[in-house]
């Protein structure tokens, strides 16, 4: 905390001190300009510090969001190189050579979080510049065979003592060295970077000697569809799919349809069977063999946790060792840990993009991700997606936002219309199920119904209703009747439903007219 206090007070003192000096009439123009530069630099330092503190608070609350979209790796690396070339000059380190080492790939587009990816590298390169007085800083990546991209940031700085390597990623961990004038910093950057790397599905580690330090981190090699298509040009796409027979265990018919359509985009020969709860999944699995199971975690009768545990404990080899991918709308670490503890091999958060689903299934069926305990959070923040088509379409509707469906179906309006028709049919039934379970004080069914409605309204872009059903789901976990919240939610549905239904019918009508 002493460090934090010092780091906050230092830029604040500079801002206040130089601001007071600017008030004086006797200051020359050149000196005024110099003072203003100091104020701007101190303000930027303070802003970076506040950002770090906010990130730490979000991490502690389990609310740091990962917003995945197409990430242009080479472009971000080039932009960082230009940025740090300028920073070298302002820090009097023009003599340090800044090197960017890229793979032979001309382009590398990953499904990841571009903002957080940039933040990780910015922290690592910034640290390298801080602790390097002579020599060079090198950063770049290479594509590994294990479906990983390996990034590195290497410097010829002072190095990290061996006894400090274990604590370097701890919060407030700083390396003090009398060879370097106080480098500043709170010791939060590496801790945040470690958390971000792990949330993106990778690992981070460090190697250091007296001659410098190298930070390594990995990210899953999940390519954007545009790049996948270019790689598949000379091969049948079916050759790239490592699975053929899939059991999908999901109670929500809309999610069932989305999963099927996502898989069929990559192969026209896969065989899919559906179970709408864990008990039915076990019955089907007793009769048929599959390459992989997609298992939703929250379902009626028997949920995904119970079904997975049953398969692992009651079935004989080799059937008890089938790869299982958990699916949930929750992105909390506790939920992911629970999935892995009961025997799931990996975890994917809804909503997802098709490329992520197929990549995870490929990794599991080819053995590259089995039992690795990779905790990849893959929440898609639709507000951060760069999708011109969906933004243009959304302007036509007051209540409907088709961004997530647009990402899933890549503009295929016919398939989007089918999903929307299913929503219109399903929502009244789901509302009736929720009402019955609410009146009967059936907490498990209330939780299941609210969970399904939350998912459905997520796909329709109705964040207000999504949040309300999420609150009901959370309250039902505590087994208490959320009377005020329930009535408030029903009122909101009544207020929004007619307009939302009109928007859906408008979309379907326009689609049918355009296809005639």
Residues 100 and 225 reside in one and the same domain: yes
CB 308 within 8 A of CB 344: yes
Instruction: For residue 408, give the nearest of 462, 466, 453, 350 by alpha carbon.
Output: 350
Residues 433 and 338 reside in one and the same domain: no
CB 276 within 8 A of CB 299: yes
Residues 259 and 204 reside in one and the same domain: no
Q: Give me the torsion for CA of 263, 267, 271, 273, rounded to 10°.
A: 10
Extract the tokens encoding 307: 């079904």
CB atoms within 10 A of CB 146: 13
Count Cα neighbours of 199 within 13 Å in the Cβ-side half-sphere.
Answer: 24
DSSP symbol at 292:
E
- The larger pLDDT score, comparing residue 41 to residue 287, is at 287
Q: How far apart are CA 79 and CA 76, in angstroms?
A: 5
Number of domains within the chain: 4
Which run of H or E residues covers position 308? helix 304-314
pTM: 0.51
Q: Give me the torsion for CA of 398, 403, 404, 410, rounded to 10°.
A: 140
Residues 222 and 256 reside in one and the same domain: no
- Counting residues of the chain whose pLDDT is more than 90, the rounded percentage is 28
CB atoms within 10 A of CB 232: 15
CATH number of the domain enclosing 394 = 1.20.120
Residues 359 and 457 reside in one and the same domain: no
Residues whose CB falls within 8 Å of the CB of residue 305, separated by 6 or more in sequence, listed in order: 297, 338, 339, 342
CATH number of the domain enclosing 314 = 3.40.50.2300
Residues 211 and 76 reside in one and the same domain: yes
Residues 228 and 94 reside in one and the same domain: yes
Q: Which of 332, 359, 380 is the last residue of a domain?
A: 380
How confident is the model over 203-235, as pLDDT tens digits? 999 999 888 999 999 998 887 755 554 444 333
CATH number of the domain enclosing 30 = 1.10.287.130
Q: Which of 334, 355, 380 is the last residue of a domain?
A: 380
Q: Give me the torsion for CA of 461, 465, 471, 474, rounded to 10°.
A: -60
Length of the chain: 516
Residues 181 and 297 reside in one and the same domain: no
For 401-467, the DSSP string reads --HHHHHHHTT-HHHHHHHHHHHHHHHHHHHHHHHHHHHTT-HHHHHHHHHHHHHHHHHTT-HHHHH
CB atoms within 10 A of CB 375: 17
Range ranked top by mean pLDDT from 21-35, 180-194, 254-268: 254-268
SS3 376: coil
Burial (CB < 10 A; 0-12, 13-18, 19+), residue 491, is exposed
CATH number of the domain enclosing 195 = 3.30.565.10
Residues 291 and 395 reside in one and the same domain: no
Residues 151 and 257 reside in one and the same domain: no
CB 250 within 8 A of CB 278: no
Which run of H or E residues covers position 505? helix 483-515
Residue 486 has pLDDT above 60, yes or no: yes
- Mean pLDDT within 144-149: 81
Q: Which of 234, 255, 273 is the last residue of a domain?
A: 234
Residue-averaged pLDDT of the chain: 81
Comparing 62-71, 286-295, 477-486, the range with the smallest average pLDDT is 62-71
Residues 404 and 298 reside in one and the same domain: no
- For residue 84, CA distances in Å to 79, 96, 98, 121, 186 come to 9, 11, 8, 11, 20
How confident is the model over 364-375, as pLDDT tens digits? 887 644 444 344
CA 40 vs. chain centroid, Å, equals 33
How confident is the model over 395-451, as pLDDT tens digits? 678 888 887 787 777 778 888 898 999 999 999 999 999 999 999 999 888 988 898
CB 371 within 8 A of CB 323: no
Extract the tokens encoding 287: 């009769």
What local confidence, expressed as pLDDT, does residue 436 receive?
93
Residues 214 and 100 reside in one and the same domain: yes
What local confidence, expressed as pLDDT, does residue 393 receive?
56
Comparing 7-16, 122-131, 345-354, 378-387, the range with the smallest average pLDDT is 378-387
Burial (CB < 10 A; 0-12, 13-18, 19+), residue 309, is middle
Residues whose CB falls within 8 Å of the CB of residue 153, separated by 6 or more in sequence, listed in order: 121, 124, 125, 128, 137, 138, 139, 214, 215
Owning domain of residue 401: 388-515
Residue 64 has pLDDT above 90, yes or no: no
Task: Please give the angle made by the CA atoms of 127, 131 and 134, to the nearest 5 degrees.
Answer: 125
């Amino acid at each position: 905390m002493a460090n934090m206090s010092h780091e906050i007070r230092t830029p604040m003192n500079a801002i206040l001190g130089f601001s007071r000096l600017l008030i004086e009439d006797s200051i020359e123009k050149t000196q005024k300009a110099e003072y203003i530069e100091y104020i701007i630099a101190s303000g930027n330092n303070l802003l970076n510090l506040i950002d770090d503190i906010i990130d730490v608070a979000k991490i502690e609350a389990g609310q740091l969001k990962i917003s995945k979209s197409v990430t242009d790796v080479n472009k971000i690396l080039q932009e960082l190189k230009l940025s740090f070339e300028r920073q070298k000059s302002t820090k009097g380190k023009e003599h340090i050579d800044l090197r960017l080492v890229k793979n032979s790939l001309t382009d590398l587009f990953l499904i990841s979080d571009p903002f957080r990816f940039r933040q990780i590298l910015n922290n690592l390169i910034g640290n390298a510049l801080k602790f390097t007085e002579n020599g060079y800083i090198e950063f770049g990546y290479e594509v590994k065979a294990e479906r990983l991209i390996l990034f590195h940031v290497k410097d010829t700085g002072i190095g990290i003592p061996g006894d400090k390597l274990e604590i370097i990623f701890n919060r407030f961990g700083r390396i003090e060295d009398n060879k370097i004038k106080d480098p500043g910093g709170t010791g939060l950057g590496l801790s945040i970077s470690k958390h971000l790397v792990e949330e993106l599905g990778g690992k981070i580690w460090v190697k250091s000697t007296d001659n410098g330090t190298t930070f390594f981190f990995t990210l899953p090699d999940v390519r954007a569809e545009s790049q996948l298509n270019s790689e598949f040009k000379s091969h049948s796409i079916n050759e790239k799919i490592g699975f053929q027979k899939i059991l999908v265990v999901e109670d929500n018919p809309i999610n069932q349809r989305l999963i099927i359509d996502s898989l069929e985009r990559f192969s026209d020969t896969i065989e899919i069977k559906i179970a709408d709860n864990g008990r039915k999944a076990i019955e089907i699995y007793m009769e048929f063999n599959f390459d992989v199971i997609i298992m939703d975690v929250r379902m009626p009768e028997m949920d995904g946790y119970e079904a997975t545990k049953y398969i692992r404990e009651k079935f004989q080899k080799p059937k008890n060792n089938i790869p299982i991918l958990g699916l949930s709308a929750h992105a909390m670490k506790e939920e992911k840990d629970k999935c892995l503890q009961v025997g799931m091999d990996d975890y994917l958060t809804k909503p997802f993009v098709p490329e992520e689903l197929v990549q995870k299934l490929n990794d599991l069926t080819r053995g590259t991700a089995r039992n690795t305990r990779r905790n990849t959070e893959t929440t898609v923040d639709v507000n951060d997606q760069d999708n011109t088509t969906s933004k243009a379409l959304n302007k036509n509707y007051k209540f409907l936002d088709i961004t997530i469906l647009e990402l899933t179906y890549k503009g295929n309006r016919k398939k989007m219309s089918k999903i929307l028709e299913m929503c219109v049919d399903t929502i009244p039934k789901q509302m009736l199920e929720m009402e019955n379970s609410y009146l009967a004080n059936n907490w498990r069914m209330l939780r299941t119904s609210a969970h399904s409605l939350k998912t459905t309204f997520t796909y329709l872009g109705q964040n207000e209703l999504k949040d309300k059903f999420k609150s009901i789901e959370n309250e039902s976990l505590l087994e208490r009747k959320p009377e005020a919240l329930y009535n408030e939610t029903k009122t909101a549905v009544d207020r929004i439903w007619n307009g939302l239904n009109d928007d859906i019918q408008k979309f379907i009508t326009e689609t049918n007219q355009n296809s005639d």
